[in-house]
Amino acid sequence: MAGLIPIGKIASPGEDVFATTGPHLDVRVIPQFGKDKGKKINPETIRSLLQNIQAAGKPIVQQGKDGQWSWNNPITSRFGPRSAPTAGASTYHEGIDLGIGAGTQLAYKGYGTFAPNKGYGTLSTTDPKGQPYDIQFLHTKPAGSSTVASTAPAVTTPAQTTTTTSTDARTEDILKAFLYGAKYTDKPKEAPKTFEQQLKEQLLGSVLNQALNPQSFLSSYSASNPFIQGKSAATGDFLNNVFS
């Protein structure tokens, strides 16, 4: 939650250290960045920042639902060239004067550091974009004799979330092979084969070889029985005719 920083109160003519025509607030805005760094700019161009300044608990300027800005105190002197309103006053006004009664309490609703000085105070703060500004409050009796600070909360970045799209394993393999070519291998390594597994594979291979090459099997088969030998020879002749 934003803090509420006391600024002080509007000085009466007898208390004011500056030339004055009567009680009022002179607000001056000084950017601390960019091409205008250190220069006083027209406060009316940064009303989104000035709306945090309160006089008697009410913003000095505020934006309505229609988007229009309105000042809650009369503007008695705008920024820029002017005729000196009284002896000792400037002919180029570096702020904006608001008609506010003597003794009216001032505060800033937000974050920043306020430093009092003789007849005025300076608030160092930032705008909604985080850009630094100094705001000076002239014709006031500033609050306190030392710096009053309110620290802005740390800026947090929303955690980024990643979504994983479930993809068919085969499609994923094809995609990876397409992207990485022969370099892509994602097959699990096979466990070493036991002796029994190797023996079974050899026996199975021998049986399949005999089934696919019956002539070789018959030629290697010998029998003492003449009948079997005759059958073997006849079968061999038949197979010779088939595979020749």
The edge-to-edge listing of strands for the beta sheet with 105-110 is 58-59, 53-55, 105-110, 3-10, 140-142
SS3 for 134?
strand
**Neighbour-count burial for 8-42, b at 16+ CB within 10 Å, e otherwise:** bbbbeeebbeeebeebbbbbbbbbeeeeeeeebbe
**For the whole model, what pTM was predicted?**
0.61
What count of other Cβ atoms lies within 10 Å of the Cβ of residue 112?
A: 22
Q: What H or E segment, with its residue span, contains residue 203?
A: helix 195-212
Closest by Cα among 91, 103, 77 to 16: 103
The pLDDT of residue 82 is 92
Domain ranges of the chain: 3-150, 194-244
pLDDT along the chain (244 residues), means of 10: 87 93 96 97 96 97 94 96 86 96 96 94 94 97 70 48 50 62 55 70 65 57 56 61 56
The pLDDT of residue 158 is 47
The pLDDT of residue 190 is 65
Query: Amino acid identity of 45?
Result: T
Q: Give helix then strand counts, H and E, for the chain.
A: 5, 16
